[in-house]
Structure 1
């Protein structure tokens, strides 16, 4: 069990948590809102960002310009079926999404969603810690490392866990502030 591997896995968890948090609406247009949307394109589910150019002409509008105009209807349908709660406006060549201002109630709901994503990230980090500690104990049992080395390694793994959990807390705090900002 290498600490560098443990740290690398935890860093990937932080990145995944950040991607999840970026999909939450904050009242401003952001292309990452559409990251989770898949469009049925010629019988296959295809990520929206590989079918269209997504831009933000202003702070409250997303513009989606498909590379293939025949996919406009499919893209519009996928957005309507998504959990975004946005209504697409199709003008025949570009789909526009107007991002409405969030109500206080909706902001509180989104903070709860963000907290759920943060908790999922923390659980993933704790699972990495658990696996690392189990690996260290196995090495100790098979006499590959001494009892003192095992204890030191477990302490290091715990320090890494604390460091990455606090990073998730910081990401969560920033996202909550972003959501609640009017």
Structure 2
């Protein structure tokens, strides 16, 4: 039961890390990245459909995203969806494909993005610490119900802390990589 608890806490922490990576992937870094279009949905034959299901998304150059619709009649709908989205890039429609040219970031904007990355990272760390707290509370409850001894509680708390430290270290690494990417571009 207790090893399951630690494994469960570890899995929850890994999910938090994956969520952080997804969230940071949506931050525009001045370099073309198809993940900034993940949240875009297109009205296609009366239904809201994710962009990647109505068009192929490719990156022919470092600062260009190329959106090629599978059905040419959907081109206007895709363009409308991109304009309405919070991507913040004006699409260039040439009649067969849509180009999104990522503008070069200013130094000031880079610093703002690095701060935003820090805030998102801190929220992830809070989530990881909450998972640790829940696991610790669960262990203390088991000890109170005489399901585990004081020594076992101490050892298990150390294991939970070890898992937490590893997760926080991963979060810090993910954050450092993204911040480095933002500054170097």
Query: TM-score of the superposition, structure 1-length normalised?
Result: 0.92
Tell whether 2:169 aligns with 1:180.
Answer: no
The equivalent residue for 1:62 is 65
Secondary structure at the counterpart of residue 59 of structure 2: strand
TM-aligned CA distance change 1:118 to 1:43, over 3 Å = farther
Tell whether 2:12 aligns with 1:5.
Answer: no
- Aligned residue among 81, 93, 102 for 2:84: 81
TM-aligned CA distance change 1:129 to 1:45, over 3 Å = farther
TM-aligned CA distance change 1:74 to 1:117, over 3 Å = farther
Query: TM-score of the superposition, structure 2-length normalised?
Result: 0.90
Structure 1: state its 5+ residue gaps: none
The equivalent residue for 1:95 is 98
Moved more, 160-169 or 67-76: 67-76
The alpha-carbon deviation at position 113 of structure 1 amounts to 1.9
Q: Name the CA distance, whole Å, in 1 between partners of 2:36 and 2:110.
A: 15
The alpha-carbon deviation at position 107 of structure 1 amounts to 0.9
- Corresponding pairs, count: 182
The alpha-carbon deviation at position 30 of structure 1 amounts to 1.3
Query: What's the C-alpha RMSD, in Å, of the aligned pairs?
Result: 1.6
The equivalent residue for 1:150 is 153
Q: What is the 5 A alignment of 1:1-182?
A: 1=2, 2=4, 3-182=6-185
Q: Name the CA distance, whole Å, in 1 between partners of 2:140 and 2:49.
A: 44
TM-aligned CA distance change 1:45 to 1:140, over 3 Å = farther
Q: Name the CA distance, whole Å, in 1 between partners of 2:78 and 2:42.
A: 6
